[in-house]
Chain A
Amino acid sequence: MSVFFTHWLTQNLLVLAGFALLAWTLWSVSHHERWRRAWLRFRADRTGLVALVVVCLYLLLGALEVVRLPAGKGGPQSVLDLFLSGITTEKTYSAPLATTLLSSAQPEPLKGRHLLGTDALGKDVLRETLKACKTALILGGLTAAIYIPLGTLFGILAGYFRRRVDDAIQYFYTTLASIPEILLLIAIIFVLGQSLTSMCIALGVTGWVGLCRLIRGETLRQTERPYVAAARSLGQSHWNIISRHLLPNVMHLVVINFVLGFSGIVLTEAVLSYLGVGTPVGTASWGNMIDGARSELSRDPLVWWNLVSAATALFGLVLALNLLGDALRRAFDPKQG
């Protein structure tokens, strides 16, 4: 089973399936009046467009690192590796664009130039920073695959059926939300063991509550509308009303919530990695690179390039996601903007 999931071909297919799902969702909602109008408003929003382009660039980089080809020397190689194959690996730290290693008494010449220097293991920092997009993409994608179906389904069920169903779902998420998020994350990863998968599960379990609340509220409002009453009086089944009428009308909230939630996930990864329950050591991630700076900042001479490039890359993605989320919110709900 685990061989199946770690095989490079399966992973390629999973990534493709994820992007296909995203494209299909966008395609199927694009006929909707609300989405068309939102797109017209979004098109005129310059900040939002720039943010969208930046986010897409990050996603593309991440996808290039996840998708692997069989043509490598030591096993399958990622597409990004092919582009960056000319980059050499040194023995240890070297400053940006330096010609010698950092900390040796006798200047030891480097094999190549490194725009952002090299880290403790001599790996090129720029390459590691780009590779870390993959971790962010996997975290965001897998977490979304867990929490979006959960949150949307429970939210709609609670808002549509009300009474007992609503009480039960509300009780469940109120209880879950009573444990401060970071403590629940730590406890779950602590029990499941440190890995990317358990981080996604933990983030998924804590993340659906906010979405569920949002969807529940909106569904409560939507079910008061005449179109739901009309669908009911025409004898439509519960399933039809939920999937054909309610779901498309709350979908924009899911998208906005996911974009803003993604930025939270990336920031949380940095916190968890600092606490020692984040991305396992050896996997390129911005959190791990920033965490490594704890010892690097007290070195002499100071090693700052690792921290700066990881923090900048992370900041860029989170800022773009935040701005994109705001722009989407303005586009869907112009009164609030």
Chain B
Amino acid sequence: MFNYVIRRLLYSVPILLGVIALTFLLFNVLQTPEAAAAMAIGSKAPQQAREAWIKSRGLDRPKTEQFVKHVKNLATFQFGTSWKTGRELNEVFRQGAGPSLLITLPGFLAGLLGGVGLALYQVYVRKSLLDRSITLFAVALMSVPTVVYIFFLQAVGALMLNYFPASGFDWRGWETAKFVALPIIVMAIVNLGSDVRLYRTIFMEEINQDYVRTALAKGLSSGVVLGKHVLKNGLIALITLTVATLPRLIMGSLLIENFFGIPGLGNLLVMAIGTSDQPVVLACTYLGSLLYIGGLILTDVCYALADPRIRLS
């Protein structure tokens, strides 16, 4: 097992290097120093000021030298300071991680539970009219843009019922729950449609296995077989596929955090796009990839723990 983890970690090193090279290509090669300067201090700034800016950032140095610096900075998490607010980015990220996790994790778990429950129920009533209706409903859920969910839930939960605050965030112990409740609900619903369809496919594959027939032949009720045997076996496939959807989590949380005024990483990125704050965009891209690669390693390890055959190959 230890060997497997080490091998898996080593395998991701070239990928990480590739990601760093890609970000360099985007931000240092495709984007000219002049364009970067215009973004940072404004295109109306005097020529000298822009040239001085390029010099101070080392953007006039040879590309190879810039690349070495780029790799060194990213590998040691030296993201520098924001162009617009001048704040240390590491500090900003540390503050934003808490609120972000407070939304994405519960939202993701709630969505997972809801999706698995609905999918299991679909398998329970499989090939009936109800099953087909739920599938159609799931396709309809998939076809609604995220923004519309946000508008709708805010209008109902905050403006009509007046139960939740329309936006904002504050660390206040249990009171915090009121701020994050609506974002969490949106988070859970946004991916529900595609998740239900995915989980249904997984469970439908399990239902045709021999062990299901044996269990049913033993006289176990259909509910027990589904809730215990099928769920357990389906979970292995489910874990792999859910981690593959984790990047979508970031996508959802970008809009949600921004709209509900949650001071998380997603909101930070949206603000940075609005103000052309390149270091933040670069750092978010890099950190997002790092999280994703880490998530993939974790999935593979979980997978290997659940199924010992994996480790051999």
Contacts and interface: CB of A to CB of B under 8 A. Distances in A.
Contacts of A176: 22
Interface centre among B26, B145, B247 (most CB of A within 10 A): B145
Contacts of B282: 187
Contacts of A191: 26-27, 30-31
A188 B26 contact: yes
A267 B145 contact: yes
A244 to B, nearest CB: 34
A275 B145 contact: no
Nearest to B28: A191
Given A274-B147, A318-B143, A182 B281 contact: no
A328 interface: no
Given A171-B14, A191-B27, A271-B255, A179 B147 contact: no
Interface in B6-58: 14-16, 18-19, 22-23, 26-27, 30-31
B254 A182 contact: yes
Interface in A256-303: 263, 267, 270-271, 274-277, 290-291, 293-294, 297
Interface residues of A, number: 40
A271 B145 contact: yes
Contacts of B16: 178
Contacts of A172: 18
A276 B255 CA distance: 11
A271 B30 contact: no
B23 A187 contact: yes
Closest 6 pairs between A and B when the two form their complex, measured CB to CB: A175-B18, A180-B247, A318-B143, A182-B251, A319-B143, A270-B145
Interface of B: 14-16, 18-19, 22-23, 26-27, 30-31, 139-140, 142-148, 151, 155, 247-248, 250-251, 254-255, 259, 269-270, 273-274, 276, 278, 281-282, 284-285, 288-289, 292-293, 296
15 contacts: A171-B14, A174-B18, A175-B22, A179-B22, A180-B251, A183-B289, A186-B269, A186-B281, A190-B276, A191-B31, A270-B146, A271-B255, A297-B155, A311-B144, A322-B139
